[in-house]
Chain A
C-alpha cells in the first residue's frame, strides 16, 4: 500500500527507544529501486576504475619505451627516450610539503581562534567566510600568487637566503638577482598554502567544535585555564581529525595544477634549494605539455598522471579512513 502526501503521524514515543528490527518481504518495486541505487553506487566505482584503466592503457606506450627507467630518469627528452619522473614527482612533493608546513600550524591556529577564542557573535560569520574561501577557485589563488605574492616575496626570499642560508634548504647558489629568486619552488609552496589553509581550517574547526561540552566543563571545574582546557580536551579530541584534514590538504596540494603552473618555470633536475628559481610538478607538466605533445609524450604524461592519481588516491583514502575511525571525525566532511 502506498502513502502519498505529507508524512503520516509517528507512533507515540515508547519508553524503550531501541530501534525495532523490521523484517519484511522485499517487494518487486523495492527490489528494482534498490537495484537502481546500487547501480548508481557501482557506476561511481566504475568511473574511478575506468579513469585508472584509461590512464593505464594510454601509459603503456611510455612504459614499453622506457620500462622501469621511467621512475629513475630525471630528464624529459622524448625523442631519445630519456624521460621519467625522477625529478618532477619529488619536486612536486616538495611544493606540497612546503605548503603543508605553512598551512597546518596556521590552519589549526585559525580553527582554534574561530572555535575557541572568537566572540560568539562573530563566529557564524567567520565560519561562513572560511567555508566560502574553501570554495574559491584555484585560478583566483593563482592570480593572487602571480601578481601579488610573487613580486613582494622576492625580497623576503633574499633575506632568508642571506641570514638563514646556513640551513641547507635555504642556501642559495645563484647570483643575488631578483629574477633568480622568481618562479621558485618556495613561492609555489607559499601560494599553494594560501589555497590549502581554508580547507584545513574548515575541517579542523568542525572537529574542534565537536569536543564534548561536558569534558570542557570538567577541565574548567578542575581549574584549567582556557589554554589548559584546549590542550587537555580539544586538541586530544581533534588530533585524528587534524591529521586526516592535513592529509586531505596534502592530497589537494599534490594535485594543485593552476596555481603551480602560474608560478613555476620548469627544471628537470631535483634539487632541495627551494629558493632558487625553477621547479616542476606532474600537474604542471601535464598542463603545459599535453596540448603540444606527440604520441609518445602524451603517453609519458598519462603515465605521470597515473602515478599522481595513484598517489593521491592512497593519501586521500588513508585520510578518509583516519577521519572516519577517529572519535571526532565521523561527521566532519571534506566540503
Chain B
C-alpha cells in the first residue's frame, strides 16, 4: 500500500461492492487481482435491455463492453461514437488522466452508472445522429469528416 494519496481498492473489494449493489441480472467472477462483472442495463423504461460486462485487472483501467444486443448491427453501418473498439463494443466512459476514474474509486459508483448513461445517449444517437452526451475526441485526422457525417439529421 502506498502511503501517499488515497488507498487503491483491490479487485476483491471492487467485487464485493459490485455484489452488494443489487444490479439486475448480475453475476461475475473473481480471481486473484482480476474480476469480471456482468449486469443488465436499461437506461429508461422504454429502452432496450443491454448486457454489459466490466473487466478489471488490478493496476490497469476497467473496461466496459456491451455484450448484447449487437450495437454495430443497431447502428446499421454508422461508426459508433465514443468507443474504443467496435465489436464487441468497448465503450469510452471517462477521460484518462483527469481523475474521473482512479484505482481508489469504486467501479460500482463510476463505471456502472456511466455505462447506463452511455447507453441512454446511444439510443438518442441512433435516432438523431447526434451525440448529446458531450465528451472529448482524441485528435485524429478524419475527425471533421466523421462529425459532419454524424450530423445528418431529422426535420
A and B: interacting chains: no
Residues of A whose CB lies within 8 Å of any CB of B are: none
Residues of B whose CB lies within 8 Å of any CB of A are: none
